[in-house]
Amino acid sequence: MGFFEKLKAGLKKTKDSMMSKIERLLGSFTKIDEELFEELEETLIMCDIGVNTSVKICEMLRERVKKKGITDPLLIKDELKDVIVEMMGEDQTLDLSTNPSVILVIGVNGAGKTTTIGKLAYSLKQQGKNVIVAAGDTFRAAAIDQLEVWTERAGCDIIKHNEGSDPAAVVFDALTAAKARGADVVLCDTAGRLHNKKNLMNELKKISRIVHEQAEGCSLEVLLALDATTGQNAVSQAKLFNEACDITGIILTKLDGTAKGGIIITITDDLKIPVKLVTVGEKIDDLQPFVAKDFVNALFE
């Protein structure tokens, strides 16, 4: 199964929920009027597209309908598709331009962070990259053990310390090992605590400082793993984490397990943080780059 087919299969729940509501609404109107736009706005909000983003989509639709002189409500569907593609902007890929390049993966416990790191390690390995994984979530022994299983499956080296160790020390050792072994990418797990933002921010700042000291001039990606099944809660998490550190991109996990995939539209529009990767299954190769046009096509086809 190709990337697009996997994405399409993964978005089936979202498509069945979201598009059926939209098609049912458009089919119930015989003309395009303000009532239609108001009900469409409500429908989009119900599909986990945030209020601000839903309002913006309808404003853009009004302008398109007026400009093109569209009178058939059913023709709005194609315009809606184009609006969402335009709203999501240019796709952004991972910056792996330096040796080593560093990727920090952050996110709350339960978001699928550790398994996603394993999938990302595998993906990079398949691209011919020499990857070292730093087990930086030292607050849970289970996280270290789980990451070790995934890195073994991915065929990558792991740097780990004992539970309770300083996460920055793990990252320091991983960077040292990367330079000694000529590694291309250092992929770092971090603790998933969100309840104490001050400690989290200090920890991430310390790790970032170590990165810049030990790999000066290296590219640094800070990727936030978000669970798609949490819907609008994912947006709240992203806002909190973005206050703590400079997020460069989002990995949206468990996209195949939810009808709330429309949250991607809100994240890219409302937060201005690009979704760079999505997971659409539990297998090790079920992580793929996010392509906005493919996402919208998978929803609307």
What's the pLDDT at 244? 74
What's the pLDDT at 77? 93
Q: What percent of the chain has pLDDT over 70?
A: 97
The pLDDT tens digits for 115-131 are: 999 999 999 999 999 99
Residue range 154-167: mean pLDDT, rounded: 93
Residue range 72-80: mean pLDDT, rounded: 93
What's the pLDDT at 194? 59
Q: Which pTM was predicted? A: 0.89
Strand arrangement of the beta sheet that strand 275-279 belongs to? 157-159, 131-134, 185-189, 101-106, 220-227, 249-253, 275-279, 287-289
Residue range 171-176: mean pLDDT, rounded: 95
What's the pLDDT at 207? 86
Q: How much is the mean pLDDT over the chain?
A: 89
